Amino acid sequence: MKAKAKATSRQTERGAAAVEFALVLPILMLLIFGIVDFGRMLNAKITITEAAREGARAAALVDAAAGADRARAAADGYSIDEPQVTPCADPPNAADDATVTVTYQFHFITPVSFLLGAGSDGTVELTANGVMPCLS
């Protein structure tokens, strides 16, 4: 009799493990998806911040067109919107700054976009500003 009771106990434990796994799996998958998309979003934010900074540097040294071109080139393949450039005055004032604003529509690849307040199309707008002092 004891052998029969022991076998039934093992089957019950296997069933309990399956239920526990079914309860934990969605949370685990949500965590993994969040890590993947957060890493991608952080990479995109760092890249467009660098592009804005490079564009501001070019706008401070050359002109607005050079700043926009440099920002697009530094975006490293990200399809950024047209950079908004505020160049230095001519002649430059020591208190003036050249600024570049870069925006990028980040698309989630996992289904966690609904948790982060993304639009209905699963995108979030990332914005970066670059500021460089004008040379006088």
Q: What's the pLDDT score for residue 111?
A: 79
Query: Residue 102: pLDDT above 60?
Result: yes
Q: Give me the chain's average pLDDT, please.
A: 86
Q: What's the pLDDT score for residue 12?
A: 63
Its pTM stands at 0.79
Phi, psi of 50 (to 5 degrees): -65, -40
pLDDT tens digits along 44-74: 999 999 999 999 999 998 889 999 999 999 9
Q: What's the pLDDT score for residue 34?
A: 87
Q: Which residues pair with 99 in a beta bridge?
A: 86, 131
Please state at what angle helix 2-61 crosses helix 64-74, rounded to 10 degrees: 160
If you ran DSSP here, which 8-state letter would residue 94 be given? T
Rounded to an integer, the average pLDDT of 94-104 is: 92
Give the total number of structural domains in the chain: 1
Rounded to an integer, the average pLDDT of 30-57 is: 94
Q: For residue 107, give the H/E element and its range.
A: strand 97-107
Q: In which domain, by residue range, is 30 found?
A: 2-133
